[in-house]
Amino acid sequence: MIVEPGRDFQGLLSSLSGNGARRFVLLPLLHKKQLAGVLAMGIGGESGQAKEDLLRARQIADQVAVALANAGLLEELAQSNWGAMTALARTVDTKSPWTAGHSERVTELALKIGREMGLTAKELDLLHRGGLLHDVGKIGVPGKILDKPDKLTSEEFAMIREHPEKGSRILEPIPAFRDVIPIVSQHHEKFDGKGYPGGLSGEQISLGARILAVADVYDALAADRPYRPAFPPDMVHAIIDKSTGTHFDPVVVQAFQKIISPVEAENISCEDRPATFSG
């Protein structure tokens, strides 16, 4: 049994006694001279058996200490990765005042949809990371295009359409981010195969990208853009409903409708409302 520092040892011994143990050994789990926990084991009653048990306990304690240390390093690395992803998302979003906070808010809505659909913790983690990074390719799009109040030229729109593939190329050299590349590269694909960049359809599109597509378009329609004001909530829902089966996966839209109704959307303040996605 592994015990964290500060636990009640009397209660621990009572627990071990309840399992039939009469003799105990408590061994510290040390990492860099810091107490990470305590390994508690019941040992045999015979002298020879007790020696063997003590040796085995010491070996186990050493292995557990290393495992705890590795887990700590992995946790530190994970936290570092989350920080890097958030920083990347904010770097993209702050290119334009119209997109400030976009990636984080769209990710939040996508996660709500994912939970409603019953995604596993692993799938939600992937969706979370992919959501934060989905527009990272817009780093290469000039701000004057993102902020343009008029209709984009065909050349400008072509530059916008390149951002999924640019994002994939940015992330590909980073091992920790490679598993989110399908979400990043496919979030502009459409369920009927008429999206970009690959013309994928149906379940050829990753589930995370199908979820993000709904959250992203909701975000774009529900927020002010440089070329138009925000659409009212009932119109946003009508547009998404009309695009079900063509642009969007019907299963994802069904979950979205359970998460946020037009009435609920009306009560979301402009500051809290998901905010962006052009192109």
Catalytic residues: 138
Neighbour order of strands in the sheet with 2-3 = 2-3, 34-43, 23-31
CA–CA distance, 30 with 116 (Å, rounded to integer): 42
Render the burial of 42-79: b for 16+ CB within 10 Å, e for the rest.
bbeeeeeeeeebbeebeeebeebbeebbeeeeeeeeee
CA–CA distance, 10 with 16 (Å, rounded to integer): 10
**Amino acid letter for position 217:** V
Angle 244-152-273 from CA coordinates, rounded to 5°: 50
